[in-house]
Amino acid sequence: MKLIREEIEEVKVLVEGKGSKKSLYIEGVFLQGNIKNRNGRMYPMETLRKEVGRYIKENVSSGRALGELGHPDGPTVNLDRVSHKIVSLKESGSNFIGKAKILSTPMGKIAEALLGDGVKLGVSSRGIGSISRQEGVNVVGEDFMLATAADIVADPSAPDAFVEGIMEGKEWVWEGGILREKLAQDLKAEIEAASRQRRLEERKIELFDQFISNL
């Protein structure tokens, strides 16, 4: 499965509460279905609806729907870079409107300062899944899984080649319930095969030595 990222260029900034209970939120379109996006990909609405339902049940409802500040290079959430918590995702036409609370983490404080100084920020969804070519469109498969519905990014309009080359050039596989990079898995398999071959050669030498000693 490939790492898949999609960028939305702008979100609204909301302030809720007063005084010490004041909280900062971002809100906007986090995911889009049934349209070919600028990366040439299309998410069937049914695929998105199913995965968003799982994500809400397993992550949003339990307070574990977290996102990072910046462009992570893998499909897992790094707690030391978490900046916000996604508190809602609602279907609206072919979009999913999301709302996220800026946290008091170090990265959250950076995001808050940037927003407070008027910096235009966007969001980027992140997940893994297969892609098939259908009538000139790269269609995301039913195995799509969200890592997060939104990371906060300052350059959502980054060239597609950069996103494709840096973020999406790796294959990821499930192994024992853990996502692992395919390159690392292949290297591990090669090392294990070489180790088995070495042990086989060593065993051959041992057997030959035993044969010679018994002559």
pLDDT tens-digit profile of 167-206? Answer: 344 565 655 555 555 555 555 566 567 667 777 777 777 7
- What is the percentage of the chain residues whose pLDDT exceeds 90? 47
pLDDT at site 163: 31
Full-model pTM: 0.72
Structural contact between residues 74 and 62, judged by C-beta atoms closer than 8 angstroms: no
Q: 110 pLDDT exceeds 90?
A: yes
More confident residue, 204 or 87: 87
Mean pLDDT of 65-91: 93
Instruction: Report residue 40 as tokens.
Output: 């040439």
pLDDT at site 88: 96
Mean pLDDT of 71-75: 83
Q: Which residues pair with 3 in a beta bridge?
A: 128
Pairing of strands 23-32, 12-16: antiparallel
Residue 3 pLDDT level (bands cut at 50, 70, 90): confident
Backbone angles phi, psi at 42, to 5 degrees: -135, 130
Pairing of strands 131-134, 172-175: unpaired
In whole numbers, what is the pLDDT of the chain averaged over residues? 82
Strand runs (DSSP E) across 65-201, as ranges? 66-68, 82-92, 95-102, 122-129, 131-134, 137-140, 145-153, 172-175, 178-181
Q: Tokens 């695929």, residue?
A: 47
Mean pLDDT of 108-119: 92
**Buried (b) or exposed (e) across 160-197, using 16+ Cβ within 10 A?**
eeebeeebbeeebeeeeeebebeeeeeeeeeeeeeeee
pLDDT in tens, 154-168: 865 433 333 333 334
Q: Which residues are part of the catalytic machinery?
A: 71, 124
Q: Where are the alpha helices (DSSP H) in 34-93?
A: 45-55
Report how far residue 71's alpha carbon sits from residue 151's, in angstroms, rounded to the nearest whole number: 7
Report how far residue 194's alpha carbon sits from residue 204's, in angstroms, rounded to the nearest whole number: 15
Structural contact between residues 36 and 42, judged by C-beta atoms closer than 8 angstroms: yes
Residue 9 pLDDT level (bands cut at 50, 70, 90): confident
pLDDT at site 107: 96
pLDDT at site 187: 54
Backbone angles phi, psi at 51, to 5 degrees: -70, -40
